[in-house]
Amino acid sequence: MSTLLITHPACLEHDTGEYHPECADRLRSVLQALETEEFAGLHREAAPLASIEQILRAHSMDHVDFVRDNIPSGEGHSHLDPDTVVCEGSWEAALRSAGATVAAVDAVIRGDCRNAFCAVRPPGHHAEHNAVMGFCLFNNVAIGALHAQVSHGLKKIAVLDIDVHHGNGTQDIFFDNPGLFYASTHQQDSFPGTGFAHETGSAGNIVNIPMHAGAGSDAWREAVSIGILPRIADFSPDLIMLSAGFDAHASDPLAHMRLTTQDFHWITVELCKLADSFCQGRLVSVLEGGYDLRALSLSTAAHVRALMGS
Ligand SMILES: [Zn+2]
């Protein structure tokens, strides 16, 4: 079975203004990296629009209204908070990003493909039930996980978040849902300031491993191998999802961890093994951060290469 790549041109129309690190060129770099011959075997689909009903599984109506009501028409931008900027095209981009995740979940559960990568923006993991934050409007991974629970009846979904920043939004949405497991490695003392080890969820369903600035491959792989992979196995998930942020790469300008492209290949292989053991290989990966364009494209290529089994 193949690997599915879901994206949409509308995700390039989410313009955050000059000098914003979360820019459309990020997604262009990712897509360009996946245009080479070795990725010719990817099955490619255009992301559908998520429905409001699907978004409301993770967010309040007030939140949806807040985002929609602040989308400017015509030229120009609106700041929803100091970091989170929207333009006219942002609404469709956000619905396509969430819709990609929903469609990827549908595809792996139906068995149309073994696993999937959603190349989308805006990213999602900082968006809480009732708050936009950190470049994120809707929590794409959480919307996908809740879709798997509600529409497909899956009982247990595990999300690993390897973005260098803590996914406070995913943790917020998952906190009281024992069927949803969230594990994160992230640089401590960086944005958004959450993700302490003592934040464990109401059912012990949250695992946070803060890492020191400067932490590299050895420390990170050890933390993941000891602190997270066995916990995912204990949880015995029906679906595994990955918040695929690549900003823990040593070249990233927004943080100070020291991972390499090979680390992103390694973790993908490890997650594929867990998915094979527990859930027929079902793995849905969703792009989050990554702000050095060269590191982002190389890391994404390494990640998708591993999803494809090579
Ligand atoms: Zn990040």
The total of structural domains in the chain comes to 1
Could you tell me the distance, in angstroms and rounded to a whole number, from the CA of residue 66 to the centre of ligand 1? Answer: 23
Could you tell me the distance, in angstroms and rounded to a whole number, from the CA of residue 76 to the centre of ligand 1? Answer: 25
- What percent of the chain has a predicted confidence (pLDDT) above 70? 100
Query: Hey, what's the torsion of the CAs at 79, 84, 85, 89, to 10 degrees?
Result: -130
For residue 129, is pLDDT > 70?
Answer: yes
Give residue-wise pLDDT tens across range 228-276.
999 999 999 999 999 999 999 999 999 999 999 999 999 999 999 999 9
Task: Say whether 126 is catalytic.
Answer: yes
Euclidean distance between CA atoms 184 and 289, whole angstroms = 14
Domain that holds residue 241: 3-307
* Residues 160-167, mean pLDDT to the nearest whole number: 98
Could you tell me the distance, in angstroms and rounded to a whole number, from the CA of residue 142 to the centre of ligand 1? Answer: 16
For residue 1, is pLDDT > 70?
Answer: no
* Residues 91-101, mean pLDDT to the nearest whole number: 98
Please give the DSSP secondary-structure letter assigned to residue 51. P
Euclidean distance between CA atoms 143 and 177, whole angstroms = 13
Give residue-wise pLDDT tens across range 172-228.
999 999 999 999 999 999 999 999 999 999 999 999 999 999 999 999 999 999 999
For residue 43, is pLDDT > 80?
Answer: yes
- 126, 165, 249, 265: the catalytic one is 126
For residue 51, is pLDDT > 70?
Answer: yes
Could you tell me the distance, in angstroms and rounded to a whole number, from the CA of residue 89 to the centre of ligand 1? Answer: 22
pLDDT of residue 310: 80
- How confident is the prediction for the chain on average, in pLDDT? 98
CATH assignment of the domain containing 258: 3.40.800.20
